[in-house]
Amino acid sequence: MNYPVWEVPGIGTPWVIGCIAIFHVMISHFAVGGGCYLAIAMRKALKENRRDWLPLLHSHSKFFLLITGVFGTVSGVGIWFAIGLVNPGATSALIHNFVFGWAIEWLFFLVEVSSIVVFYYAWGRISDKLHLQVAYLYAVSSILTLVIINGILTFMLTPGHTWLEHASDRNLPAYFWYAFFNPTYFPSLFMRMLAMMSLAGVWALVSYSRLEQSATRDQLIRWSVTWLIPAFLLMPVVFFWYQHQIPASNWHLTQLGMATIGAGTFTQITRIALLSIMATSTIAAIAYFFAYKSPKDFTTGHALSLLFIALMATASTEYAREAIRKPFVIGSYMYSNGVRVKDVAAYRTDGYIAHSAWAPSVSSKGVKYEEGRFLFRGECMSCHTINGYRSMKHLLGDRDDKAIGNILTMLKENKPDSPYHAFMPPLATSDEETDALKYYLLSLNHKLPKNPNAPIPTPETAKSAVKVAHS
């Protein structure tokens, strides 16, 4: 490990990314789908001479500009900030591979943001034809941002054989296109596009529901509902394709929770996937019965409920997508705790601490508690917290020295029939380190001296121990 560990008590670091990302996904999908929506709605209004649509579209585009331009951009930068802190190793690997991709992404992003500003502020000041062209420019540039980012997101789940074979080469950018057009690239692209169209419809419903009653409002509400149809018809097919491209071991993770809810068995992914199905069916029912069948009675309350359920569906789907990547953060290349697959053997022989740039200072070497704590922070804390989310205190309960030792041995051996094999990285520590980690874990629920073998602390050693504690 070349980086220090960022500790977030309670919710843990994954949820820092999770909270920002779920929010961002809702808005960024709207930004892409909504751009197409505005362009197509405008074209339809002009072509079919429905000029009464235009004032409503103008109002919608203001809503769109504020939501996507402010919250979308801020949360997007927020994700960057968060992933760099939470998993610097993985972020570094992504940058080394995709620096070119990100450069293009920022270019498209710049065009996207500029064109939506022009689109809104030039309303009524430029010709219809030019205005429509600006709308198209926005739509195309926003789709292109998806085209790029999708390559990077899907790479993390399925980097593909070619890239994996050359992953340890120094010349990574040479394999850019293999990494980019990885096995799940296309199904994921289509899935996201379908989701974007639906979210464009849902957000448009929120926007129109606030307007005064009129025949135009009713027309636009009904037309917005039709934006949900492609997703409901095609999503199962595209999803099947996506699932087909995922390694069976990853897909298997979604089924762990069918039979059991035992603690520490990683079953929540099944439960959350179920929620996603439930929420999606509810969206279909509400959109049809409440918006399409009776647009007059469709209130802001209804629209916001729909948006909330869409948020639930998005959040649970994204959670499931992230979770099936386990035990890796980048499929078969880097484990979720930032340890590269190829480094495990060296860490076991020389010790994890020996390979860590931010290892405890010399004076706390051999202090079991401090070493164990460092190992916990490095190898476990990317998923577990002490007291909160996936709490180690709770999961370990009153297990004794021997029981914790057995778990660690199982994690180290990482046999295919181990209950943790499917979702936890193998423990990459030397034997002494495993012992130190065991001591630290035992100390969470049992009163143990922090330093069983240490000499009487001198001011110097005490100071460095404090330093380690705060690193």
Binding site for another protein (CB under 8 A): 258-263, 268, 271-272, 274-275, 278-279, 282, 285-286, 289-290, 294, 302, 305, 309, 312
* Strand stretches in 196-336, DSSP E: 328-330, 334-335
Neighbouring residues of 309: CB distance < 8 A, sequence distance ≥ 6:
279, 282, 283, 286
Query: Among residues 226 and 294, whose Cβ is nearest to another protein?
Result: 294
- The candidate with the shortest Cα–Cα distance to 283, out of 218, 229, 210, is 229
Nearer to another protein, 37 or 420 (CB): 420
Least Å from the CB of residue 274 to another protein: 5
Q: CB-wise, 124 or 262, nearer to another protein?
A: 262
Which of 227, 258, 254, 377 lies closest to 320, judged by CA? Answer: 254
What is the C-alpha separation between 70 and 465, in angstroms, rounded? 44
**Residue with smaller CB distance to another protein, 324 or 367:** 324
> What whole-number distance in Å separates Cα of residue 10 and Cα of residue 388?
4
CB 260 within 8 A of CB 244: no
Residue 366: both structure tokens together = 């051999």
State residue 223 phi and psi, 5-degree precision: -65, -35
Structure tokens at 214: 């009129």
Looking at the Cβ atoms of 57 and 279, the one nearer to another protein is 279
On whether the CB atoms of residues 127 and 167 are closer than 8 A, the answer is no
Q: Residues 84, 96, 241, CA angle at the centre, nearest 5°?
A: 85
Q: Which residues contact 441 (CB under 8 A, 6 or more apart)?
A: 372, 376, 392, 396, 404, 408
> In this complex, which beta carbon is closest to another protein, that of residue 293 or of residue 463?
293
**3-class SS at 398?**
coil
Instruction: Give the nearer residue to another protein in terms of CB position, either 268 or 361.
Output: 268
Structure tokens at 100: 């070119």
Give the DSSP letter string of 364-377.
Answer: GTT-HHHHHHHHII
CB nearer to another protein: pick between 161 and 296 = 296
Residue 329 DSSP class: E
Residue with smaller CB distance to another protein, 85 or 278: 278
Distance from C-alpha of 138 to C-alpha of 222, rounded to nearest angstrom: 24
d(CA 165, CA 174): 13
The C-alpha atoms of residue 95 and residue 243 are separated, in whole angstroms, by 27
Question: Do residues 154 and 173 touch, judged by C-beta distance below 8 A?
Answer: no
Q: Least distance (Å) from another protein to the CB of residue 287?
A: 12
With residue 384 as reference, give the H or E element that holds it: none
HSE toward the beta carbon, residue 447, CA cutoff 13 A: 0
Nearest distance from residue 445's CB to another protein, in Å? Answer: 16
Residue 399 and residue 392 in contact, taking contact as beta carbons nearer than 8 Å: no
Query: Closest approach of Cβ 289 to another protein, in Å?
Result: 7
Could you give the C-alpha distances from 3 to 17, 293, 336, in angstroms and in order?
18, 56, 15
